[in-house]
Amino acid sequence: EWDGTSSAGWTLGLGSDTATDGQWDRGVVEGNNRGDPSFDGSGSGSGQAFLTDIDPSNTNSDVDGGFTTLLSPVFDGTATEGTILSYQRWYDDQAGAAPGLDQMDVSISNNGGSTWQTLETVTQSTSSWVTVEFPIESEITPTAQMRLRFVVGDYDEGSVVEAGVDNLRVFGIACDDSIPGDLNNDGLVNGADVGIFLALWGSSDPTADLNGDLTVNGGDLGVLIANWSI
């Protein structure tokens, strides 16, 4: 998980970027009423995030004259089965000479950034942090060399474009599909399990202690019977 409190592993800007101002930065959120958030993705007014230019003394902190790039650290998309990627993004393009005509492009790579695949193109200004979440395998083949790229630009006639990224998370959800009482793990609760259960009667073996009272007894037998397979 990366929550904006450190830029370790992140790349803020590339040599190929064309923006003349408003490049990606990291620091305490300083809303200036021109499209900047006044709090981070967790709702803290003193929290930190990745934002396009952080300068509380300058109301002209938006992206100007081109695009700027933010790259995430490399992360493992295979660490768990069904790895889920989640991040929060901010995008605002409601003021200036040509509001609503610019965009933020979010891409994903499974080879460390050698090639990229588009995840989403953001054009809607929501004036809020939006949480995006999806299983990696639904978008691209997971590898141990995953990376995200956020490119935001001012491509038209000088609109006020502000963007942010916070709380990037990579995680998995483990599902326990075992049946209480299936002591031999064959997917059924039947006589074979009763034999194992009786052999452990009176012990504290966790295999047969189905109700967690630290003793294999009648209470556990009730759990086994309740899950008996027909």
pLDDT tens digit string along 143-160?
999 999 999 999 877 788
Lowest pLDDT segment from 25-34, 123-132, 144-153, 180-189:
25-34
- Give the pair of three-digit tokens for residue 76: 């493992």
pLDDT tens digit string along 70-87?
999 999 999 888 899 999
Nearest to 13 by CA among 180, 149, 154, 157: 149
Core vs surface per residue 52-71: b (16+ CB within 10 A) or e = bbbbeeeeebbbbeebbbbb
Q: Name the DSSP letter for residue 106.
A: E
pTM (2 decimals)? 0.76
